[in-house]
Amino acid sequence: MRLNKYLAECGVCSRRKADELIASGKVSVNRKVIIELGATVDETKDVVFVDGKKVLPVTHYEYVMFNKPKGCITSTSDEKGRKTVYDYFDEEFKSKRLIPVGRLDYDSEGLLLFTNDGALTHKLTHPSSEIPKTYIVKIEGEIVESDLAILRKGVVVDGVRYGKSKVKVLATEKIKTNDGERTLTRLEVIITEGKNREVRRMFEAVEKNVVFLKRVAIGDLRLGGLSRGGNRELNDFEVAYLQKL
């Protein structure tokens, strides 16, 4: 088995993060440091260490839904001292080493899954799976049909092409401010890729500023009425649904 896959299936981190750990010399196999990204291990007899700590296979998978508030990052720690998603969990949860499935940026909120199931994490985050993720977005001002058509077709930002998306206007509202009135447009956006800051960059391409961004669903798994900062375990039906996606 590839070493990065083994680390992911042991619940250490995602495969991408595992590659970073390997490249930085933090992973050893049978006490020998490995830096080759394509390295493999025999999971039946090799002993793997990360930062000197022995990595053990997961014997029990757990799946948790979290309603991420804005103002925290999807990481275990931050060199800038910002709040992280793990600050919303107790020490017992942290000891389980569940990792986020993908990420939401600092100013975004909504549905975030945590698990120690590396295979499911890889499937839900890999672009080839094309699993739809639904967001509620608010932008400043109104948006014309020609801009919606550009978003649906897929935009190019700084040489990076973003895939097709489904975009639907839900409502336009006017709110009072100290300077008068402010117009906001609320939309539903469904994407299947999940590149870094993808939704925000899509709207930047049509010169629209996102002021609110919330993920409300992964496939048909919806956030529902879970409070901000709250979490709950997925039930057996929900886990089975994700595994079949």
Residues forming CATH 3.30.70.580 domain(s) in the chain? 63-127+224-244
Active site residue 42: no
Residues forming CATH 3.10.290.10 domain(s) in the chain? 3-54
User: pLDDT at position 28, please?
Assistant: 94
- Helix H segments across the chain? 3-9, 15-23, 91-95, 118-125, 145-153, 198-205, 236-244
Given the residues 78, 87, 90, 105, select the one marked as catalytic.
Answer: 105
How far is the C-alpha of 36 from the C-alpha of 55, rounded, in Å? 18
What is the reported pTM? 0.82
For the domain bounded by 3-54, which CATH number is listed?
A: 3.10.290.10
pLDDT in tens, 161-195: 888 999 999 999 988 888 888 999 999 999 998 78
How far is the C-alpha of 73 from the C-alpha of 75, rounded, in Å? 6
Q: Structurally, what CATH architecture does the domain formed by 63-127+224-244 represent?
A: 2-Layer Sandwich (3.30)
CATH 3.30.70.1560 fits 132-218, yes or no: yes
Statement: residue 59 has pLDDT above 80: no
Residues forming CATH 3.30.70.1560 domain(s) in the chain? 132-218
